[in-house]
A and B are shown apart, each in its own frame.
Chain A
Amino acid sequence: MAETSAEKEQLRRIRAGDVRTASRLIRNLEDGLPEAKSSIKRIFPHTGSAHILGITGSPGAGKSTLFDALISSFRRKEKTVGVLAVDPTSPFTGGAILGDRIRMQRHAEDPGVFVRSLATRGALGGLAKAVGDAVHVMDVMGKEIIMVETVGTGQQEVEIINHSHTVVVVLVPGMGDEIQAIKAGIMEIADIFVINKADRDGASQLAGELTAMLNMVSEFPGGWQPPIIRIGNVFDTGPFGASLEELASAIGDHHRRLVETGLLGDRMRRKNMVEIHEALRDAILEPILRDLIKSGEMEELAGRLLRKESDPYTLAEEVAHRYLR
């Protein structure tokens, strides 16, 4: 397929960092437009320069405020920053309130910072479906650090590891007993732990539990033991300033370690496999679902289940047999 001049112009503008072109493309990606997919095909070869940082933690843990402080820190080092902030979509109306910007608005006018809010639109795992592609767009814009903020997460929303090089898990004191610290899921994915609001009661206990959990690990990949960084009152410039810089340098150290040990390649491979998985889903499953819904067959299949004439597996096999030959 020959490239049109509009397509060439779009790529040129995005590579030049044009916000209007990039933000329109991200919207079209969210809406799943076919032409947005072709744009990704064209920009994909130019991706791969950015350090992608994922930050996750429970609702109200202070992720957005931490983002705001980290943006300032990266900007002082003259690094350009892209931010993707995800908030939940209502399961009832499809609407969403995207409020992460409130904490980051002081960077709105800085041309070195591009903040974009995304709604989950039904995606599970704490992210939006368009996150992977939106990261690509910001990468090609030349953003050196791309920060992805998940929705407020519980125990299981670990999708962020498939999209980032470095994962920061933000915890706050008072999360429960010591068993929480050894559960599977979100506690396993951290490259860096932040104990936020560490001026509150229970911060030392939480730090102790995390340390005990980490002490049980016999070998860390690449020899990287996740540091535990305590951050107190964000608006207290004294001790907080120091611990925030500790976090910023731990993020840089982690990236260097990934590069030096070759672990970066492993993470990229994991990310690439997830991308293929998602693209296959789009290419194979989605058209079948659309077809079934449009033709009314979905209703009919549901009716057969309701009347106990069949079961989900038999129905799926019938459909699969028809479509996938």
Chain B
Amino acid sequence: MVAKPGLDGHDRGARVLARAFRDAGFEVIYTGCHQSPEQIAAAAIQEDADVVGLSCLSGAHRYLFPRVVGLLKGQGADDIVVIGGGIIPEADFPFLYEAGIKAIFTPGAKLDAIVDWIRTNIVPRN
């Protein structure tokens, strides 16, 4: 699932990613922009997503990303892997990893590298 949390309407990158995932043979649920962490967590559970990719270009990642992880955990869905991307300073990486974000991709990351990360790290449930 690809989601854009918070007050950030720039979803070109998220859409390019969704397309790349499609071409990699994944089923991609795209939720659109301006999603609250609550909406994203609820959608991920309803869709039984394997992985949620959060895109944030607004600078609010330090609040939004951990919040999604926390909500999933609170609903017994901490097996859903959360990764993130966007305009994220490297200085924030340790904080986000600590908060349970499993991978972070910033501008310049190759689409293939993101797809490969998912292929390597997401274990098919069946």
Instruction: Name A residues whose Cβ lies closer than 8 Å to a Cβ of B.
Output: 19-20, 23-24, 26-28, 31, 33, 89-90, 93-99, 101-102, 105-106, 108-109, 114-117, 119
**Complex-state Cα separation, A19 to B46, whole angstroms:** 6
Among the interface residues A23, A26, A106, which one has the most CB atoms of the partner chain B within 10 A? A23
Top 5 A-B pairs, shortest CB-CB distance = A102-B32, A95-B22, A23-B48, A108-B39, A94-B25
Q: Is there a chain A Cβ closer than 8 Å to B101's Cβ?
A: no
Contact of A93 among B22, B45, B77 (CB under 8 A): B22
- The contact of A95 among B28, B40, B125, by CB within 8 Å, is B28
Interface residues of B in 1-30 (CB under 8 A from A): 18-19, 21-30
Least CB distance, B2 to chain A, in whole angstroms:
9
Specify which of B22, B23, B45 is in contact with A23 (CB 8 Å cutoff).
B45
Contact of A98 with B27 in the complex, beta carbons under 8 Å: yes
B47 sits at the interface (CB 8 A): yes
In the complex the two chains form, is A33's CB within 8 Å of B126's CB? yes
Would you list 17 pairs from A and B whose C-beta atoms are within 8 A, ordered by A residue?
A19-B45, A23-B45, A23-B46, A23-B47, A27-B48, A33-B126, A93-B23, A99-B29, A105-B32, A105-B43, A108-B31, A108-B35, A108-B39, A109-B38, A115-B46, A116-B47, A117-B29
Identify A26's interface contact among B25, B48, B75, CB under 8 A.
Answer: B48
Write the nearest CB–CB distance from A115 to chain B, whole angstroms.
6
A186 to B29: give the CA distance in the assembly, Å: 28
B residues within 8 A CB of A89? 27
Residue of A19, A101, A114 contacting most chain B CB atoms (<10 Å): A101
Contact B42 A108 (CB under 8 A): yes
Tell me whether A109 and B18 are in contact (CB under 8 A).
Answer: no
Q: Kindly list chain B residues whose C-beta atoms are within 8 Å of the C-beta of A97.
A: 18-19, 22, 28, 30
Distance, CA A106 to CA B38, complexed state (A) = 11
Find chain B residues with CB under 8 A from A90 CB: 22-23, 25
Give the residue name and chain of the B residue nearest to A114 (CB): B46
Interface size class of B (residues with CB under 8 A): 20 to 34
Which B residues have a C-beta under 8 Å from some C-beta of A? 18-19, 21-32, 35-36, 38-40, 42-43, 45-48, 75-77, 125-126
Q: Given the complex, which residues of A lie within 8 Å of B126, measured CB to CB?
A: 28, 31, 33
Starting from the known contacts A99-B30, A108-B42, A108-B43, 10 additional A-B residue pairs (CB-CB under 8 Å) come to A23-B48, A90-B25, A93-B23, A96-B27, A98-B30, A99-B32, A108-B40, A109-B36, A109-B42, A115-B43
Bound complex: CA A26 to CA B19 (Å): 24
Please measure, in the bound complex, the distance between the C-alpha atom of A166 and the C-alpha atom of B28, giving whole angstroms: 29
Which A residue sits closest to B43, measured CB to CB?
Answer: A108
User: B28 to chain A: which residues have CB within 8 Å?
Assistant: 95-98
Q: How far is the CB of A87 from chain B (nearest CB, A)?
A: 9
CB <8 Å contact, B43 and A95 = no
Task: Specify the chain B residue showing the minimal Cβ separation from A96.
Answer: B27
**Minimal Cβ-Cβ distance residue in A for B75:** A20
Q: How far is the CB of A111 from chain B (nearest CB, A)?
A: 9
Question: Contacts of A101 on B, CB cut-off 8 Å?
Answer: 29-32, 43, 47
On chain A, the residues within 8 Å of B125 by CB distance are 27
Are B25's CB and A105's CB within 8 A? no
- Which of B21, B26, B42, B126: most chain A CB closer than 10 A? B42
- A contact residues around B75 at 8 Å (CB): 20
Q: Contacting A24 at CB < 8 Å: which of B27, B29, B30, B48?
A: B48
